[in-house]
Amino acid sequence: MATVSNFAPGLTLALSSTDRKAAAAWYEKHLGFSLMYDAEEIGWCELATHMDGITVGFAENWQPRPGNCVPVWAVTDLDAARAALEAEGVAFDGPTEVNEGMVKLATFKDRDGNAMMLSEDLRG
């Protein structure tokens, strides 16, 4: 049985928001998280939490789905991890997305339809 074996330290909780900057400000004010970066070109920002390797990210979406949290599992080689999951029949939602110099992402669902993502950091 093939399994993903190249997890990297880190977990990002990806949330949707109508205004990522306002959402980030709320998390900074009320939870003490700190903005790591805001990627205007892809409508995404990410905040550091108080726990090493765990971040919260906001995808700007005109119609967010409250209660929809997507765990984003960090891996060292997304292509290898995806291939291992696909070999076991796990279906992915389209091709791997590559944001050059930033991140590689692939979305899949668990047996109950809960969305998750794999991510590979391309920032070097």
CATH of the domain at 70: 3.10.180.10
The pTM of the full predicted model, rounded to 2 decimals, is 0.71
Tokens of 40: 């205007």
Range of the domain at 51: 7-121
The residues, any chain, with a CB within 8 Å of residue 26's CB and separated by 6 or more, are none
Q: What pLDDT is recorded for position 17?
A: 86
Any domain includes 57: yes
Any domain includes 1: no
Q: What pLDDT is recorded for position 64?
A: 67
For residue 110, CA distances in Å to 1, 37, 43, 54, 92 come to 17, 29, 26, 21, 10
Any domain includes 74: yes
Angle at 65 between CA 8 and CA 62, to 5 degrees: 100
pLDDT digits (tens), the chain, 124 positions? 678 889 999 999 988 888 899 989 988 998 889 999 999 999 999 999 998 999 999 888 767 666 678 889 899 999 999 999 999 899 999 999 999 999 999 999 887 687 889 999 999 8
For residue 8, CA distances in Å to 12, 24, 59 come to 12, 25, 22
Any domain includes 50: yes
Any domain includes 98: yes
Structurally, how many domains does the chain consist of? 1
DSSP for 23-34?
HHHHHHHHH--E
Whole-angstrom Cα distance, residue 61 to residue 74? 23
Whole-angstrom Cα distance, residue 30 to residue 76? 33
Q: What pLDDT is recorded for position 118?
A: 93
Any domain includes 2: no
Q: What pLDDT is recorded for position 117?
A: 93
